[in-house]
Structure 1
Amino acid sequence: MFSRSLLTSYRSPSISHLRPFSCSTLALLQPGRSHPSASSTPPPPSAPSPPPPSNRTAFARITPLRVPASQALPSTPPPEQIVVEEIYEDPYDALPKRNLLKPFLFSTIFIAFIYIAAAERTNEESQLWADKLGWNALWRRTTPSQGEMMAAQQFELKKDLQHQLDSVNATLTATLPASLAQPLLQGYLAVAEFWLNSSEPTKLACMIVGVNTVVLGAWKLGRWNGRMAKWWMHNPASGRQVTLLTSVFSHQELWHFGFNMVALWSFLPMGYAFLILGDRQALSTYPGLTESTAIYHLGAFYLTAGILSSLLSHTIFNIFQLPRLLRAITSPTNPILTPSALSSLARKHNAVPSLGASGAIYAVFFLGAMSYPDAQVGIIFLPFLTMPIKFAAGAMMLLDVVGIWRAWKGFNHVAHLGGALFGIGYWRYGCEMWDWLRMKLARKPTPPPSTTGPRLLGL
């Protein structure tokens, strides 16, 4: 895909020093004749042909008027004889250039928006459930705890699902025979029970897997591969910034999709446990902030990890790999670059589009590894072999460092390493940033650090 984008606009530099054939206005070309501008002196006029012999007496002799051939031609020649001047652009103008500012601005604006929206929504829901539990009532001496809020949400969800089940049951019974209504009702009941009994990270994982499944299906249809490659793969030379985000939800191959989604399903609860429980209280300046849910925080973390890992890969490409690729393309040893040759050259310099959720999943994995370093993890093909997650994390990071140093192909090691570094950094500073943002959005003065237990915003 990368090579195709270069090929459509690039002309070999070996002919850039040649001036293409052109004329200032219109050139009149006739078969069998040279161009009028090919010779500075016009050809001598040919001798008049003798009149045909005749037995009749000539009454008078008519001498034809001789005019130049250019004046004898019609003023507007036929269309097939018109050669329009072709304007050639400089081949070097068509080559991709470094693109660093726009991706950085796009990523910064998106991350700021998603975190502000997540923090605002968390504040609203936390305040809503605190009001429902009567936190300002006279009989309550303490604010509702996080556990009380989450238990109240679970009870409310159960009531809503029961109400929906009764409504669906009435509708199916009235419109369908029992042989069809009963299986549909059982299926709806199974889904409702799964959703009720699932934790928040499992619900978020279901949403992410659902989006990735739809994108994978679009790839497998085949009819939209051109558009999918344009909008769901990140090509650092394309100039499209939105693919920094959309490529995080895109997988072309089933094995790639399966590995990433299994890892997401396995480690997302560990990251969630840190954000809402774990040792995050000891790492924040505001340890007493109460929140009824961490699903918005976790969603913002996942999206930010994905886009930052893509941005790091994009930046490394533009700073290091793109100049080497351009030098190879403009080298005198490559006078003619066919599509296959240009594609091979791009793969040689690892200048290919990227896609996949690996960067975001690395961030989730390393956040959990920093929070619970002694947790045991198994290998997907050898589940009977387990090891502490801190050793697995170290081995994965070492593998990506070697992959970058040795320029291994097949995986985006830069994006993997970027996700890992983001997860490590977020373990130390992310929760403090999150609590500070929640305090600012509450439009209340930020209180000094407190260790007197949970409190709501503004108290």
Structure 2
Amino acid sequence: MFLVMRGAFPSCFLRLRASTRSFQCRGFKQREAFVPKLEQRFRRDDPRVNKPPSVRSLARPLLFTVGGSAVIFGGAAIWQYERIRARISSTLLPSWQPEKRGELRRQIFHWWNSLSDGKKITAGIVAVNFMVFLLWRVPSLQGTMLALFTSSPAKTSPCMPMLLSVFSHRAGAHLAFNMLALWSFSGTGERLLGSEHFLAFLLSAGLVSSMASYAAKVAKATAGPSLGASGAIMALVGLVCWQYPDSRLALIFLPTFSFPASYALAGVMAFDTAGLLLGWRTFDHAAHLGGVLWGIWYANWGYSLIWKNREAFVTRWHQLRTGQRKGGREP
């Protein structure tokens, strides 16, 4: 389903059908010869994956999700603080940049400087996803990619793959549609949150959606591998559509027929809830639903509870950064 969003933010395309985190959702006819063999080995021969996960196996991923999100938001607050300091310094001492040689380099330099900070961050995320996609094409790295860039609660070390799998895509169409949706919604996400906050939100959404996928797999006593940025992107979709419920969406093949973003959000949630309850295995519905719910929760309460309360943390960082002690003066 191709969607075009209009109204409060720029037109964007969202491929919901291909934006999925599960290996089982392929449906693409052109695939590498080694992929089926890898999936067979990963599903049948690896006891870490085929051993049914227990509820106790969720303890470490849950702690990693909470702790990792705290570190992510804390790092984003420090990054914002350091960028403000650097911006003030550059204003007082303006830097000179040499003219780029070559017409192509000048055009690339001009294009890059024309991007907002959020778009630059998004371009970096797209580049990382593309590099990971290329690594999937290297046969000698398949064992490493399966271990680190696919998530499953039955793995011996399930925590880091929760985050790394968000940057992992094996199919070109899966990568293209996810990155198109991310690029389309990123401008609005940046305007709502700010560039550093926007990145923290996306990364935390990746952890939350992976945690939701883990919980669903434990409840169903399954441990199939998952990968992809869909959960984080669905969180961004949930955030944007919740903030702009009256924005118009339209099917790309039916541009004259449009409907409110709130209807699309309700439809996505209903679809993933039905898929989760009925056991549909085409998509990782738990990851999608977890991402959407994280976006809605953050729009209503997360911003006030997390980001608006960063002042004490940043103040402490400022004291450490400048050598200033509490109640004393900066040397």
> Which TM-score band (shorter chain)?
0.7 to 0.9
> Unpaired runs of 5+ in structure 2?
1-38, 318-331
Distance 1:3 1:269 in 2: 41
Residue among 173, 176, 188 paired with 1:258: 176
Residue of 279, 282, 289 corresponding to 1:410: 282
Alignment of 1:298-377 (within 5 A): 298-318=198-218, 320-322=219-221, 351-377=223-249
| Deviation (angstroms), 1:96 | 4.5
Question: Against the structure 1 CA distance between its residues 227 and 129, is the aligned structure 2 distance closer, same or farther, given a 3 Å change threshold?
Answer: closer
Using the size of structure 1 for normalisation, the TM-score is 0.55
Aligned residue pairs: how many? 274
1:222 Cα deviation from its structure 2 partner: 3.4
Q: CA RMSD in A?
A: 2.6
Taking the aligned partners of 2:230 and 2:46, their CA distance within structure 1 comes to: 31
* Structure 2 residue 96 is the aligned partner of structure 1 residue 124: no
Find the counterpart in structure 1 of residue 35 from structure 2.
none
Say yes or no: does 1:441 pair with 2:322: no
Q: Report the CA distance between 1:3 and its aligned residue.
A: 6.7
Matches within 5 A, 1:422-437: 422-432=294-304, 433-437=306-310
TM-score (norm 2): 0.75
Question: Partners in 2 of 1:443 and 1:307 — Cα distance?
Answer: 26
Which entry has the higher C-alpha Rg, 1 or 2?
Answer: 1
Question: What pairs up with 1:79-158 in 2 under 5 angstroms?
Answer: 95-98=51-54, 99-129=57-87
- The runs of 5 or more residues in structure 1 that have no matched partner are 11-93, 135-151, 170-184, 276-293, 323-348, 445-459
Is this contact kept in 2: 1:118–1:296, CA < 8 A?
yes
Q: Cα distance, 1:394 vs. partner?
A: 1.1
Contact 2:53 2:154 in 1 (8 A): yes
Distance 2:156 2:252 in 1: 37
Separation (CA, whole Å) in 2 of partners of 1:129 and 1:306: 30
Per-residue deviation, 1:9: 4.6
Amino acid in the other structure paired with 1:300:
A
The CA deviation at 1:316 is: 2.2
The one of the two structures with greater contact order (alpha-carbon pairs below 8 A, sep at least 6) is 2
Q: Which residue of 2 is the match for residue 247 of structure 1?
A: 165
1:338 match: none
The 3 A distance-change label for structure 1 pair 251 and 4 is: closer
Relative to structure 1, the CA distance from residue 128 to residue 230 in structure 2 (aligned partners, 3 Å threshold; closer, same or farther) is closer
Distance 1:205 1:386, change over 3 A: farther
SS in 2 for 1:442: helix
Q: Which residue is equivalent to 2:118?
A: 201
Instruction: Say whether the 8 Å CA contact 1:2–1:235 is kept in structure 2.
Output: no
Equivalent residue, structure 1, for 2:13: none
Offset of 1:125 from its aligned partner?
2.8
From the two aligned structures, give the one with the greater helix fraction.
Answer: 2
Query: Relative to 1, partners in 2 of residues 1:9 and 1:411: Cα closer, same or farther, differing over 3 Å?
Result: closer
Deviation at 1:127, TM superposition (A): 4.6
Deviation at 1:109, TM superposition (A): 2.2
- 1:212 maps to 129
- Assess, with a 3 A threshold, how the Cα gap between structure 1 residues 3 and 223 changes in structure 2: closer, same or farther: closer
Distance 1:104 1:3 in 2: 28
Cα deviation, residue 97, structure 1 = 4.2
